[in-house]
Structure formats: structure tokens, C-alpha cells
Amino acid sequence: MWTSPELKAQTDAPNDSVQLEEVVVRGARVVNRTDGKLIFPSEEMTKSASSSYTLLKMLPLPNVKVDDINETISAANSLMGNVQVRINDVEATTADIQSMQPKEVEKVELIDRPGVRYGENVGIVLNIITRKVTSGYVVGASGTLVPKADMVKGNAYTKLNSGNNELSINYSGYYSHSNGMSTVENADYLMSDNTYNKVERNTNDIINRNTMHDIQARYSMINADGTAFLTTLSTSIDNNPRYFNKTDVAYSDGRNTTEIIDNSEKTLSPLLDLYFSTKIGNSQSLIANATGSYTHTDYAYQFTSDDTSFGYNTLGKAWSLKSEAIYENRMKPFTLSAGLCYVQKYIDNDYSGDANLVSQIHSSNIYAFSQIQGSLGKIGYMVGLGLSREYYRQGETKYDRVWLRPKLNLSLPLSQCIRLNYTLTSAPASSKLQNMSGMSIMTNGMEYSEGNPELIMERRDDHTLTLSYQSPRLYTQLMTFYRHNDHPAMQHVRRTEDGRFAKTFLEGRRIDMLMLQSYTNCDIIPQHLNAYLSAEMLNIWNDGQDYSHRLTSFNFNIGLTAWLGNWTIMATMDNGYHFMENEYESRNIFSDFVSVSYKYKNITAGLFCQNLFKRNAKIEEVENHNHLAHKLLVARNRDTSNAIGIKLTWILSKGRNFKGIDRDTNSLKDKETGVAK
């Protein structure tokens, strides 16, 4: 296994100067760049993978968690921000990834130091580059069944190509009926007479039924000169007809009661997206798009106990418009990118019942950015600056602020195998709209949850230093990550006059985080056996208005993949993520996952199991360290204990045109409705 001189010359070049058609790759799967890495799947991977999700799960993607069963891609921990998935440099939906065959993936760009063009809270970008094939069609379907969890999901899709035109239709559905979860919570409430009211809550009757339907239709036209036009119409219907839990409550003074929470929610979300891109000469390009969406929500909440009843209904409506234009010029010394994004949103939530309120929220954002990326000698660099104007109004409360969002990436090869990277990011971080609703909701017999319309945005500064080593069979990296949150929105609890406790969010002092992480990926037997190991130490400082909490945790994750002809075996295990934010300390418990699949022509059959040899697995512990209302909750789930599932995938295709641009409407959907829950 070796790297050609041509490929080595491209390794130190800026992002846009990497031209794959000019190099020959023979075995080396990872190529370093200023903003991340190029990863080339091996032939064995593309042949054995049953789906593109499975292929991505096989690749060495530090800090990226790929769930090929639930078909999700996320950051390995919340510190890294969101993962944005793109196909041919345009955001991709679940439907796009489902309909993409593994053999059509040429390379994957892992951009773990994304520039300012990618927007707020995007920590990692996966850009999947596909091979250009001939016109034709693809038809496919997949289904997953987990009998113990009463869960079934599936999707069906087709894409038709003719010349420069493509038409695609995709449907996906999901159903689950969960009743295997239970929780035990012990709470200590400090009363006004300095005595503690100790409460034990046992919840063994939890029912959660949920159905989802997504339909997407898309037309695209791509000319030979690179000009592309794409329009997408989609709608999502999410129906949660019942989330019910019944809790037996025992107080230290001898009182016993039963508390029942019964919720239901239905959401309809249509969306229209228009996208246009064109090339200007050989080195310039222009992208423009506009997205309009509407979300209609019917939400009902009912809390009852032996002596208390509280309930409300919400009719929620949310409209949003997002438009964007990006210009790029690939000049010899560097690549210049500049753009402008505008977002307008209006939310109208009408609460009736015990919570009688009309909450109207007007918000807008104008974001302009510019960045240059290139190299000075051996040092690769990216320097970017964004200017964001945030406007928010709810009733008499409003703010209008301007933020600077600078970003710097530096990359220095210390040798042919070793590279040092540094990233600095400074950006605003907004609060969740539901925390700003002004609503007061009873959550149990002792507690309320209150919104705070006066919450404002915080500033967040991130520093990342990474040292990586790469050889033909081994990739390893050591990363130091530090985050400073200045005056963030943090939990605050007060005791009310009637002896209950109200939780809200106020401006705190700081939340600081320091993470030391090691990641190693090794081809133990090339083309047959691969292993990875990720381990980290996390230190967190939480300083609110009237409290300070510290946490040091150790987390690890290990995985193995074996390719044995038509068989693929995958196994992962981790010790559970241990994290703390505000006063909440969360400990996910040790978990394991094993899957075996067999591929025969166009059909792949798989069997998987989660949490082997466990009857009622503990899945999480959550502790609230507040001095007025201290609580420890332990959650268990029979449905995910020793749970066995089956997945079938079928694909029928004839040469397709993959000049096609896949446009992400799923990520464009504005799902934040501001509904208080």
C-alpha cells in the first residue's frame, strides 16, 4: 500500500484544489487536508455494504456516530455540534442517502474544521462524492423489524434519469409502540423550615405510541456546463397519539398519591425548496436557494393527581423562509468564498385550558460571511469572518444584536505521516424557543417549569488542537478541545409560596469544557478485519447564578468490522456517555451492539442484537444537583434489552446520472415550533 507522488502533492493543497481525476489511489484510504480529510472506501467495503449508511459506518470517521439501523448520523458527543451530510457538496436528506448505492460512492470528505459558510452549530460536515454514471433508473426498498420493541420502519424510492433531467419520489414510514420503559426517581426538596421533603416516584406504566410518514418528490435539471436547477416538494406527518405515564409517589410524611401525565401531539410540515447553481468561467461559481416551510402542531398535555389537575391544549403555527446566495472564486493563491443568508420566522402558539396564553414570536437573522483558504509554504490555512444580525420579539420583550463570527484553521505537516491542526471558532449560541415561551407548566406535584422570554444569546469560543498520524494501515489522532460559554442560559430553581419549586433559565456565569481524546483506526487484516478505539477524558465547569458544579468523566467506544465474502459482521460497545450541563449530570450506561448480514445479488438480509444477555437494561441515570430540589432518576428499558431485529434491503438499478445534485430538505425543515412542553 502506498501513496503516489501526485497524491502527496495534493495533500497539502487547499480544499478546492484536490482533483481526484488527476491522481491514482492505491490503498491509502485517508488523505489529510486543511479543513479535514479525504477518505476513500475500499473495494471490499463498497461490495459488502448493504446501504450507504452501512458504508459510512465502516469508514474511519472520528467523532461521527453512524446508526445504520435507525439511519441517523450524529456527532459522537454534543460538544462537536451538528453533523451536516452533503452529496456532491449539497446537503442530503435521509431519502437521498437511502437511494444512493454504496458502489457509487467515490470518496467522502470529512470536514471536521468547517468554514464559516456552513452556518450556526455545524461542527462536522460529511460531503459524499459520487461517481458519474450513465442515465437510467434505480428502484429500492428496505425494512427493519424489532418485534420485542414493537418497532417497524421502511422506505421505498425510485429515481428516473433521462438526459439532463431527473425525477425522484421517496416514501418512508415508521411505527413504534413502546411500553417497556420504567423509571425510579428519588428527590429531596428543601422546604422553607429547613427540613427535607423526601419523595420517591416509581413509574412502571409508560406507553409511547408514535407513527411518522415522510413523502418527497423532486425534479432536477443539470446541463453540461454545470448549471443546475432543482425543486423539491415534501411533507412530513408525525403523530404521537399517546405518551402516557403513571407514577406512584410516596412522600416522607407518609402521604401516597398517583400522578398521571397523558400527552398527545400531531405535526404536519410541508416544505418547498428551490435551488440553482451555475459556473462562471473555469474558476467561479454561484449558488442560490430559497426554502419556505410551514408547521402545524396540535399538542395536548394533561397532568392529574389525587388532589391536583392541570392541563392545556396548544394550536401551534410556524412559518419560516430561508434564502441564501454563495459566491466562490478559485484563484491561484487561495480560494475566496462569500455569501449572504436571510432567515425570517413567525410563530403563533395559542394555549387554552389551564394555561391561557397567546405566544407570538417574530425572529429574523441576516448572516454575511467571507473566507479565504489556501497555503503559505507548508502551512495550510482558512480564515473566515461572519457578521450576524439577530432580531427577536415576543410581546414587550425584544432584542436586536449584531455578532461577529470569526474562524481560523491552521494545518502543518510535521512529516509525511504526522500533521498538526489548530482551529479557533467564536460564535453566538441561541436558547431554545420553548425556554423563552413565557409559559408555566406543572410537571409533577412539586414542580413547575417556567419559560423566560428575556433570555438572550450567549457567545461561545472553541479551541481545538489535533495531532494525527497516518500510515497505510493505521490512522490515529490526539485531540484537545476547549470550549468557553460566556453568560449562557442556565437552570435556576426557586421555591414558591405554596411550597412548590419552579424551574426556569437565567443568565449564568459560564460553562467551560475541556476534552482530551484519542482515536485510532487500524486495518488488522487489510480488506478483512478493521478495528477502531475512541477514548476521552472530559472536564466540565458549570457556574450558574448561585451554584458551581464540576465533573470529570472517562468515556470509550470500540468497534470491529469483518468482511468474509458475502458476510459482514459488525460489533460495537461503549461505556456510556457521561456528561454534565447546568446542574444536570447524565450517565448513559454500558451498551453493546452486534450485526450480521449476508448479501446475495441485489438483496441483503441482516440480523442484529442490542444489549446482549440483559433482561431489563439500565439505560440512563440523570441527577439534578440543585440544592433546593435534588433528584436522581434511573431509567430502564425492557424493549432494548436483548432486542433482536431483522433488516432487509432490495435494490434494482440500471446506470444512473450522478451529476445529479441531492438537496437536503430534511435539514432545511424548521422543526423548532416554540411549543412549551
Q: How far is CA 537 from the centre of its chain?
A: 22
What region, left, alpha or beta, does residue 88 occupy, with left being phi > 0 and alpha being psi -120 to 50 degrees?
left
**Euclidean distance between the first and the last CA atom of the chain, given in angstroms as a whole number:** 56
Of residues 652 and 467, the one with the higher pLDDT is: 467
Q: How far apart (Å, rounded) are the C-alpha atoms in residues 248 and 450?
A: 25
Taking CA atoms, 535 is separated from 76, 420, 479, 574, 647, in Å, by 11, 19, 11, 10, 30
C-alpha 294/C-alpha 315 separation (Å) is 13
DSSP run (H or E) holding 96: helix 94-98
| Residues 416, 266: Cα–Cα separation, whole Å | 56
| Cα 389 to Cα 666: distance, rounded to the nearest angstrom | 25
Question: 605-617 b/e with 16+ CB inside 10 Å = b?
Answer: ebebbbbbebebb
Q: Is the pLDDT of residue 117 over 90?
A: no
Give the residue from 47, 46, 77 showing the smallest Cα distance to 64: 77
Residue 584 has what pLDDT? Answer: 94
d(CA 109, CA 83): 13
Model confidence pTM above 0.95: no
pLDDT at 16 (0 to 100)? 35
Out of 11-25, 392-406, 655-669, the most confident range is 392-406
The model's pLDDT over 85-111, given as tens digits with 9 standing for 90+, comes to: 888 777 777 777 877 878 888 889 988
On the question of pLDDT at 577 being above 90, the answer is no
CA 601 to CA 331: how far, in whole Å?
46
- Give the pLDDT of residue 442: 81
Q: Indicate the SS3 state at residue 98.
A: helix
Residue 14's pLDDT is 34
Dihedral (Cα; 158, 662, 121, 67), 10-degree rounding: 40
Do 72 and 98 form a contact (C-beta atoms < 8 A)? no
Residue 20 has pLDDT above 50, yes or no: no
What is d(CA 577, CA 75) in angstroms, rounded to the nearest whole number? 12
Percent of the chain with pLDDT over 70: 90
d(CA 557, CA 534): 5
Q: Which domains does the chain have, with CATH numbers?
A: 2-654 (2.40.170.20)
Instruction: Please state the rounded mean pLDDT for residues 660-668.
Output: 46
CA distance readout (Å), 64 to 88, 327, 593 = 19, 29, 17
Please, are residues 334 and 373 in contact by the beta-carbon 8 Å criterion? yes
Q: Give the 3-state secondary structure of residue 467.
A: strand
H helices of 156-247, in order, are: none
Place of cell 460489533: 571
Which of 14, 152, 7, 34 is CA-nearest to residue 413? 34
Evaluate the CA torsion angle 609, 613, 617, 620 in order and state its sign: negative
The letter for the amino acid at 108 is V
Contacts of 415 (CB under 8 A, 6+ apart): none
Phi first, then psi: what are they for 116, rounded to 5°?
-70, -15
Q: Is the model's pLDDT at 635 over the cut of 50?
A: yes
Cβ 619 vs Cβ 595: under 8 Å: no
Query: Residue 435 above 70 pLDDT?
Result: no
- pLDDT at position 134, please? 55
Q: How far apart are CA 233 and CA 44, in angstroms?
A: 37
Count H helices, E strands: the chain? Answer: 4, 41
Which residue type occupies 262?
D
Asked whether residue 157 carries a pLDDT value surpassing 60, the answer given is: yes
Our measurement of the distance from residue 276's CA atom to the centroid of its chain's CA atoms, rounded to an integer in Å, reads 26
Contact 101, 615 (CB under 8 A): no
- 151 beta partners: 146, 176
Separation of alpha carbons 611 and 590, rounded Å: 9
- Mean pLDDT across the stretch 204-229? 88
Neighbours of 267 (CB within 10 A): 20
Which pLDDT value is given to residue 672? Answer: 59
Residue 28 pLDDT class (50, 70, 90 cuts):
very low
- The vertex-19 CA angle with 278 and 84, nearest 5°, equals 65
- Beta pairing class for 447-450 and 501-507: parallel
Instruction: Band the pLDDT of 677: cuts 50, 70, 90.
Output: low
Name the 3-class secondary structure at 70: coil
Residue 7 carries which DSSP code? Answer: H
Cross-strand pairs, 644: 609
* Number of neighbours of residue 146 by Cβ within 10 angstroms: 21
Rg of the chain, C-alpha, whole Å: 26
Residues 6+ apart with CB under 8 A from 668: 91, 271, 273, 291, 293, 322
